[in-house]
Structure 1
């Protein structure tokens, strides 16, 4: 049934990478030159993040970002059909032992992630280690695309949990002594009355969700920030940067401060691999 419902995306997914990248190039031309999708937002974000860069440098990063952005979309669709062996050839993990040592020691691990590199491919990590894996997500208003993304993300044994159920579910695992690795995206802008704290991020007072820090403390998790280096199209190297070893003695503000600082360092190193199309500072005084 799923093949019929998502037939157009399965057709795309079975295409070889070289053909997908031709389509990606065409999509880039349409998105960047014809439609100009969120170009003002991207350049505003880049100018806020890198005030010392020239207009030429900003334009160069912007164009590289859009090329990566289009590639990432088709690489994500590829998750529907890609063979595990091909993922293992294209997705190199630099320091997996950092995680496995803690898991073997019966410690929970939180991947405090960001919209960096190809974050959708993080759902393939269970191919490389045997552990209960969960990711918290905010359901999309469009049920068709919501179900499509769940299908892609759960293909390699990641359990997708709606964010409003995540705390209760992960605490249940801990109370039942089930060691888990849990993925929470931390760089989204908090909405409405969501729990939030501010910290300095690219020289701006920036709001961050407190949920990830709260969950990490309650589940006694070791916190890592995973990030990706793009070797070439369709080939990435994944790194794990430890942020916190013992969460019990730290407050939420300290955890968020360390996360934001480390994420900023990574973005400065690979600026074209970050998601610049969202209005990150809209609720922190920046006018778009």
Structure 2
């Protein structure tokens, strides 16, 4: 059996979430207090993003982030075996009608998403929408974990597309008359190479470089652009509200979508700061 090599993860995945959260609690103590995984990066990022907050407030957000981070790890493993009933219980869509209306208007969508909430659970979107769902990703160097992540993401019907082949794949699907909803994560830090494409804007109190891929693809394709605003209602339950950034971006100014996206992401972060991935070095580049 092809997936037999992932047996240890399947074994973990069949464990009920309340018990997996006990494992998450243990992981939190290990990751935060003993290993101290990227604590320097997290603390520095939080101080940049929230200069008005006291050290006590920063520490509170920091601990909440690590608790959420550990929860997300076990939730992602649970994705391997979650059924539709469990998905509907744990994923709430506030305004599903927006996506339905775009489908009826014959519009494909760029879902300009971020490392907010449990972004891996966006793999459940095929359960809710008529669009063919694709997800752009950067292949991992470790082949085993790259295959595992593709398995997790594609189980419900998501087509995983290497970022380098993204636009070409979308055009192929368009030629096949398929309406697509395309998940593109836009909050990674661009390459430091001087020729690497990047756009600078004010974000969380600091000039920040953004990748330009989603903006370029949206303008070329004229797909509607939506930001999925994520809220964590309680442990293991997330709500998404879709924010329409542009219905016909082809006529919009270059990089206008990055401006709109960065503002939507900033608003989302300010509502629930612990849900963003503070452990990546978002501000390693200087303007």
TM norm structure 1:
0.96
Aligned match of 1:41: 41
Partner of 1:222: 224
By how many angstroms is 1:136 displaced? 0.5
Query: In the TM superposition, what is the alpha-carbon distance from 1:133 to its structure 2 partner?
Result: 1.0
Residue 273 of structure 1 corresponds to 275
Q: Note if contact 1:174-1:219 (Cα within 8 Å) is conserved in structure 2.
A: no
Secondary structure at 1:129's aligned position in 2? Answer: coil
Secondary structure of 1:284's match?
A: coil
Aligned to 1:240: 242
What's the CA shift for 1:175? 3.7
Q: Does 1:93 pair with 2:93?
A: yes
8 Å Cα contact 2:45-2:281 kept in structure 1? yes
CA RMSD of aligned residues (A): 1.1
Give the structure 2 partner of residue 210 of structure 1.
212
SS in 2 for 1:37: coil
| Contact 2:103 2:130 (8 Å CA) reproduced | no
Q: Residue 172 of structure 1 aligns with which residue?
A: 172
Helix, strand or coil: the match of 1:141? coil
Greater shift in the superposed pair: 80-89 or 185-194:
185-194
Correspondence for 1:128: 128
In the TM superposition, what is the alpha-carbon distance from 1:233 to its structure 2 partner? Answer: 1.1
Q: 1:218 & 1:38 partners in 2: Cα distance?
A: 38
Find the residue that maps to 1:207 and give its secondary structure.
strand
Contact 1:199 1:206 in 2 (8 A): yes
1:172 Cα deviation after fit: 2.1
Offset of residue 99 of structure 1: 0.8
What are the Cα deviations for residues 154-197 of structure 1, in whole angstroms up to 9, with x where unaligned?
00100000000011111222344321111100000111343211
SS at match of 1:242: strand
Q: Distance in 2 between matches of 1:238 and 1:91?
A: 8
Give the Å deviation of 1:251: 2.6
In 1, the alpha carbon distance for the partners of 2:286 and 2:247 equals: 30
Tell me if 1:71 matches 2:88.
no
Where do 5+ consecutive residues of structure 2 fail to align?
none
1:3–1:10 CA contact under 8 A, matched in 2: no
2: CA distance, partners of 1:130 / 1:246: 20
Which residue of 2 is the match for residue 181 of structure 1? 181
The equivalent residue for 1:197 is 199
Aligned counterparts of 1:35 and 1:135: Cα–Cα separation in 2: 32
Structure 2 Cα separation of the partners of residues 87 and 2 of structure 1:
25
What whole-Å deviation, never above 9, does each CA across 1:99-127 have from its counterpart, x for those lacking one? 11011110111100000000000110110
CA distance in 1, matches of 2:143, 2:120: 19
Q: Would the aligned equivalents of 2:106 and 2:179 in 1 still touch at CA under 8 Å?
A: yes
TM-superposed deviation, 1:227 = 2.3
Q: Is the 8 A contact 1:229 1:270 kept in 2?
A: yes
Q: Distance in 2 between matches of 1:2 and 1:79?
A: 18
Deviations 1:47-70 (A, max 9, x none): 000000000000000000000000
